[in-house]
């Protein structure tokens, strides 16, 4: 089978997200970059599906040239092919992103045949637009379900499981199908040294992204109101235990 | 008719975030219409009227008997074509965002997810949530019909009595939309969950192993709570992802969150910040979790946690 997984390069901030002076971007001067966690799991799932059912996996991203790093990371844990849709900025609006990814997929499929499964993250970690995967699936006339935490392939169909407030919902989809994956579907592996070396050698295909501006345009980033709190120190080490238990009683937690 | 609110429900149980979406809609236009999908939602009419719905449009179709993202999205798209609202609001929940994305794709319209404020002019100025709530984005939205979801807790639900007339709206759903309808469902067992627990004892990387969570389990049990953890813990395979607190895990809101050996990275913090009180136990007095907490103990969690448990047992004689 053939599996495609779409990932986005995002900064990996620590204790606080700082914004550049012009208010237009996250200040990444001192930050590393990563793949959104949901998508990291989607990559792992793609590799596992191929390990189980045979075939070939491809990773695709639309992003700056540096997003090569995220493609090679996916390759280092076992994805076979990589495609970059290079853009001049950190991101495009969601409609434009979806249009570009759709047309790239159509091009790849015209040349190499259809993907049985296309995996997205449930939402990107930074923008969280909750829509790129759905738009692509609709444009390709394929079924999509989001929030997936389990995939079981059975012949030409698959069962996809997701959690809701009420419990677990199961969907049965005919392939070709598209799924939005959530972290927790699996435990992503770490790359081996051999995997890392191999990923340096793979050829990253390039597709010129096609898409017109969408109706949602970012103007600036705004820091959310910081919660300031005067921390009350209860003490140091195990000697603080009585003070903690006093607090538990005071808060009514220990009755 | 200007603003239409898509009401979320699960087999006839009204999603509380829907009432927040109605409150948000009232800030955009005094005339608010509501849309309910499936006959299981017919009973909401009175409640929706009390919360400001002038008209409740009810859609009935076999394919809407249970949730299906494509059937629901197509029904919303057809309602938009029939009713021609200026804007459509839904809840910024997993389902709400999924249904609106489906509707937007079908209508070929932009869709802005998880909005916290709106200034409605010709082009709308919107503030929305990024990074799961760690950051906000100011954006513009230009579209013939504005589609958005309302971030949970951004608007307060409140009563605002309106006529609440009901009207039946018919849709034509292609049988093929059954391809993404729930085929099986397993109800969650009753009991305390991470999202609803009154006390959460959280452990981070510093706990060190799966086995070393035993003292945290013991303390949580004594307090009638559950154990949570950071992503460093789930990535190491020490605990299941269902225990993860944060942006890509669960959002908790306990009376007390005890964060043990957790640095308080922004993605963890957004999942924990709704806790009423936070107590951090950390060796580093400068850790983000410590400086943001209400209370802190500076020290080794492996010594502090058992000492707290022992003190509780001593006082309670258990
Ligand atoms: C897009 C994205 C999404 C993410 N989503 C999540 C999420 O949902 N949830 C989440 O948790 N993380 C998430 N993360 C990861 C997050 O950025 C941090 O890497 C993670 O939360 C760190 O876990 P930690 O605090 O346990 O570990 P560390 O950051 O390593 O902190 C360990 C802490 O333990 C303290 N310590 C050390 N020894 C002891 C001791 N003996 N006793 C007491 N304290 C001690 C240290 O001082 C330190 O503060 C996400 C990251 C990204 C990029
Ligand atoms: N620039 C991008 N390149 C590749 N995939 C993307 C990109 N942006 C979003 N996606 C995919 O679409 C999913 C949903 O993104 P979003 O609509 O931004 O929440 C993500 O989890 C990714 O799988």
How many angstroms separate the CA atoms of B89 and B147, rounded? 6
Residue A237 banded pLDDT, cuts 50, 70, 90: very high
Yes or no: say if B177 and B74 are a contact pair by the CB < 8 Å rule: yes
A49 alpha carbon – ligand 1 mean position (Å): 30
pLDDT (0 to 100) of residue B190:
83
Give tens-digit pLDDT for B127-174.
Answer: 999 999 999 999 999 999 999 999 998 999 999 999 989 999 999 999
- Asked if the model's pLDDT at residue B27 lies above 60, the reply is yes
A7 alpha carbon – ligand 2 mean position (Å): 6
Among residues A80, A60, A76, the alpha carbon closest in space to that of A8 is found at A60
How many angstroms separate the CA atoms of B6 and B96, rounded? 8
- Asked if the model's pLDDT at residue A255 lies above 90, the reply is no
pLDDT (0 to 100) of residue B281:
98
- Asked if the model's pLDDT at residue A227 lies above 80, the reply is no
Q: What do you get for the CA distance between the two ends of chain B, in Å? A: 64
Among residues A67, A108, A105, A102, the alpha carbon closest in space to that of A84 is found at A67
CATH topology of domain A2-206: Rossmann fold (3.40.50)
Helix (H, G, I), strand (E, B) or coil at A218: strand
Yes or no: say if B117 and B129 are a contact pair by the CB < 8 Å rule: no
Tell me which residue has its CA closest to atom 41 in ligand 1: B300
Yes or no: say if B252 and B245 are a contact pair by the CB < 8 Å rule: yes
How many angstroms separate the CA atoms of B243 and B194, rounded? 7
Residue B299 banded pLDDT, cuts 50, 70, 90: very high
Which of B77, B104, B239, B270 is the best residue to mutate to test the A interface, defined by the most A CB atoms within 10 Å of its own CB? B104
Helix (H, G, I), strand (E, B) or coil at A109: helix
Q: What percent of chain A shows pLDDT beyond 90?
A: 87
Yes or no: say if B85 and B148 are a contact pair by the CB < 8 Å rule: no
- Asked if the model's pLDDT at residue B95 lies above 70, the reply is yes
Helix (H, G, I), strand (E, B) or coil at A137: helix
How many angstroms separate the CA atoms of B94 and B110, rounded? 18
Give tens-digit pLDDT for A36-64.
Answer: 999 999 999 999 999 999 999 999 999 99
H or E segment to which residue A246 belongs: helix A241-250
Domain boundaries, chain A: 2-206
How many angstroms separate the CA atoms of B58 and B75, rounded? 11
Q: Both tokens of residue B303?
A: 């010594």
Residue A106 banded pLDDT, cuts 50, 70, 90: very high
Give tens-digit pLDDT for B195-221.
Answer: 999 999 999 999 999 999 999 999 999
Mean pLDDT of A3-31: 91
pLDDT (0 to 100) of residue B121:
86
The model's pTM: 0.96
What is the number of the ligand 2 atom nearest to the C-alpha of A128?
A: 19
How many angstroms separate the CA atoms of A96 and A210, rounded? 8
Pocket lined around ligand 1, Cβ cut-off 6 Å? A 12, 34, 36-37, 125; B 204-206, 230-232, 244-249, 261-263, 265, 267-268, 271, 281-284, 287, 300-302
Lowest model confidence (mean pLDDT) among B89-93, B252-256, B313-317: B313-317
Mean pLDDT of A77-100: 97
pLDDT (0 to 100) of residue A201:
94
pLDDT (0 to 100) of residue A225:
77
Across chain B, mean pLDDT equals 96
Q: From the CB of A129, is ligand 2 less than 6 Å away?
A: yes
Mean pLDDT of B16-41: 95
Among residues A79, A141, A94, A148, the alpha carbon closest in space to that of A114 is found at A141
Point out the ligand nearest to the CA of residue B194.
Answer: 1
Looking at per-residue pLDDT, the higher value among A226 and B207 belongs to B207
CA R_g for chain A: 22
Mean pLDDT of B7-33: 94
Among residues B166, B76, B148, the alpha carbon closest in space to that of B112 is found at B148
Q: From the CB of A61, is ligand 2 less than 6 Å away?
A: yes
Q: From the CB of A3, is ligand 2 less than 6 Å away?
A: no
Give tens-digit pLDDT for A8-18.
Answer: 999 998 888 88
How many angstroms separate the CA atoms of B293 and B22, rounded? 34
How many angstroms separate the CA atoms of A253 and A247, rounded? 9
- Asked if the model's pLDDT at residue A228 lies above 80, the reply is no
Distance of CA B212 to the CA centre of its chain: 31
Yes or no: say if A22 and B273 are a contact pair by the CB < 8 Å rule: no
pLDDT (0 to 100) of residue A52:
97
pLDDT (0 to 100) of residue B63:
96
Q: What do you get for the CA distance between the two ends of chain A, in Å? A: 58
B267 alpha carbon – ligand 1 mean position (Å): 9
Yes or no: say if B187 and A166 are a contact pair by the CB < 8 Å rule: yes
**Three-class SS of chain B:** CCEEEECCEECCEECCHHHHHHHHHHHHCCCEEEEEECHHHHHHHHHHHHCCEEEEEEECCHHHCCCCHHHHHHHHHHHHHHHCCCEEEEECCHHHHHHHHHHHHHHCCCEEEEEEEEECCCCEEEEEEEHHHCEEEEEEECCCCEEEEECCCCCCCCCCCCCCEEEEECCCCCHHHHHHCCCEEEECCCCCCCCCCCEEEEECHHHCCCHHHHHHHHHHHHCCCEEEECHHHHHCCCCCHHHEECCCCECCCCCEEEEECCCCCHHHHHHHCCCCEEEEEECCCCCHHHHHCCEEEECCHHHHHHHHHHHHHHHHCC
Give tens-digit pLDDT for A111-156.
Answer: 999 999 999 999 999 999 999 999 999 999 999 999 999 999 999 9
- Asked if the model's pLDDT at residue B241 lies above 60, the reply is yes
């Amino acid at each position: 089978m053939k599996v495609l997984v779409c990932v986005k390069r995002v900064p990996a901030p620590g204790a606080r997200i700082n914004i550049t002076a012009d208010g237009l971007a996250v200040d990444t001067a001192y930050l590393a970059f990563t793949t959104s966690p949901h998508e990291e799991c989607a990559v792992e799932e793609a590799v596992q599906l191929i390990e189980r059912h045979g075939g070939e996996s491809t990773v695709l991203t639309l992003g700056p040239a540096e997003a090569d790093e995220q493609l090679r990371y996916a390759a280092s844990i076992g994805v076979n092919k990589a495609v970059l849709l290079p853009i001049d900025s950190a991101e495009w609006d969601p409609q434009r992103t979806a249009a570009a990814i759709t047309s790239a997929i159509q091009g790849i499929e015209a040349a190499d045949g259809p993907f049985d499964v296309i995996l997205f993250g449930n939402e990107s970690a930074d923008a969280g637009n909750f829509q790129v995967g759905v738009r692509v699936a609709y444009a390709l006339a394929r079924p999509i379900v989001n929030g997936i935490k389990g995939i079981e392939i059975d012949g030409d169909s698959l069962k996809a499981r997701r959690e809701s407030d009420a419990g677990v919902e199961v969907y049965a989809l005919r392939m070709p199908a598209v799924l939005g994956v959530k972290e927790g579907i699996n435990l992503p592996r770490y790359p081996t040294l051999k995997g890392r070396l191999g990923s340096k050698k793979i050829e990253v295909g390039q597709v010129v992204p096609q898409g017109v501006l969408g109706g949602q345009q970012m103007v600036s980033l705004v820091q959310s109101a910081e919660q300031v709190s005067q921390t009350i120190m209860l003490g140091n080490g195990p000697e603080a235990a009585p003070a903690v238990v006093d607090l538990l009683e005071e808060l009514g937690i220990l009755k | 008719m200007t603003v239409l609110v898509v009401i979320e429900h699960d087999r006839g149980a009204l999603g509380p975030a829907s009432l927040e979406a109605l409150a948000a809609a009232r800030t955009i236009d005094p005339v608010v219409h509501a849309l309910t999908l499936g006959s299981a939602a017919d009973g909401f009419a009175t409640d929706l009227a009390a919360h400001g719905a002038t008209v409740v449009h009810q859609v009935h179709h076999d394919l809407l008997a249970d949730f299906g993202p494509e059937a629901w999205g197509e029904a919303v798209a057809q309602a938009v074509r029939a009713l021609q609202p200026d804007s459509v609001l839904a809840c910024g929940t997993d389902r709400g965002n999924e249904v609106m994305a489906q509707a937007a794709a079908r209508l070929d319209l932009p869709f802005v997810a998880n909005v916290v404020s709106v200034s409605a002019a010709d082009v709308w100025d919107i503030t929305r949530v990024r990074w799961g709530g760690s950051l906000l984005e100011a954006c513009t939205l230009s579209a013939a019909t504005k589609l958005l979801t309302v971030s949970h807790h951004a608007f307060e639900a409140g009563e605002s009595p309106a006529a609440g007339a009901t009207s039946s709206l018919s849709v034509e759903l292609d049988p093929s939309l059954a391809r993404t309808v729930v085929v099986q469902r397993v109800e969650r067992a009753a009991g305390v969950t991470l999202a609803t627990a009154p006390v959460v004892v959280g452990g981070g990387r510093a706990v060190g192993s799966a086995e070393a969570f035993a003292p945290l389990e013991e303390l949580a049990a004594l307090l009638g709570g559950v154990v949570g953890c950071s992503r460093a813990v789930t990535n190491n395979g020490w605990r299941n992802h269902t225990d993860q607190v944060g942006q890509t895990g669960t959002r908790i809101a306990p009376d007390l969150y005890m964060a043990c050996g957790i640095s308080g990275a922004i993605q963890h913090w957004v999942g924990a910040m709704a806790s009423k009180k936070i107590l951090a136990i950390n060796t580093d007095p400068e850790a983000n979790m410590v400086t943001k907490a209400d209370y802190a103990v500076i020290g080794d969690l492996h010594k502090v946690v058992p000492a707290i448990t022992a003190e509780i047992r001593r006082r309670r004689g258990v």
